[in-house]
Amino acid sequence: MKIKPVIIVPLAFILLFGLFAGLILFVGSKSSGNKGFSRTDKIGVIEVIGPITQSKQIIADLKSFERNTKVKAVVLRVDSPGGGVGPSQEIYAAVKALKNKPVIVSMGSVAASGGYYIAAPATHIFANPGTITGSIGVIMEFPDIAALLEKIGLHRRVIKSGTFKDIGSPVRDMTSEEQALLQGVIDDVYAQFVAAVAIGRDLEPAVVRKLADGRIFSGSQAKEAGLVDELGGLQVAIEYAARRVGIDGDPEVIYPEPERVSLLDLFLQHTTSSLQQYLHQAESAQLHMLWKANN
């Protein structure tokens, strides 16, 4: 009996689709480090790498590990000079709010300013002896090109609704009233930073203030000052987290599931991320919890 072409085509399509879907699942299972079918208890690792310009993904990863009953502890790997005040405070709150699971911080080469802020509420903090950390403080910078514009004879007229509407303008000198207003904002956010560290590290605010003049510490110095708990790298932090929650032997480590994106989306994300970092560094009229090594 001959099989009609009208039947062969759909069958072939279904077969090809099944093979294609199976290949995707196979590749995905091989490439994923999360081993979704494993029944063992796990340690979840979340990385905060580079300037902190947003908090959405980090918070989502923390929430995901909080819901995952197989993840018994979270290791937050911080390698960041800090960044925006808002995102740093949001990550801090998410770390502090994580329920029933210890959060162990592992500091990489740099965990300064906002990078330290997000580490402060952790259950336990590890740093390498040479980690650059600390830099507890807040900064706001404004370019001043008034003298340059004066030389070339370029002037700008500003019509504004209030005295402080163009505060921080780069084309004129800052008034004493404007400087006092901005200093008040800086002082208020600085006080929030000190309070966050004091609460997170169980230190007296007066003790934190003595350390919070913007200075940086090596990991060894930070341990002596009470800003970190122990010296050690990422693997040491993972092993500590495992012991803390009663996992024997080498723990199974998982990372957040990566987003499945096309090459075009990946290119666009990389370009957008690079542009955001550039704008973040170039835009001075923002509050930053940021250590800048070239200051």
Q: Is 288 exposed, middle or buried (0-12, 13-18, 19+ CB in 10 A)?
A: buried
The whole-angstrom separation of Cα 95 and Cα 92 is 5
Q: Which residue is catalytic, options 55, 88, 106, 113?
A: 113
The whole-angstrom separation of Cα 15 and Cα 9 is 10
Q: Which residue is catalytic, options 56, 63, 160, 165?
A: 165
The whole-angstrom separation of Cα 164 and Cα 29 is 57
Cβ neighbors of 256 (< 8 A, separation 6 or more) are: 44, 46, 61, 64, 65
- What is the full DSSP assignment across 63-86? HHHHH-TTEEEEEEEEEE-EEEHH
Q: Is 258 exposed, middle or buried (0-12, 13-18, 19+ CB in 10 A)?
A: exposed
> What count of residues does the chain have?
295
Catalytic residue list contains 165:
yes
Residues involved in catalysis:
113, 165
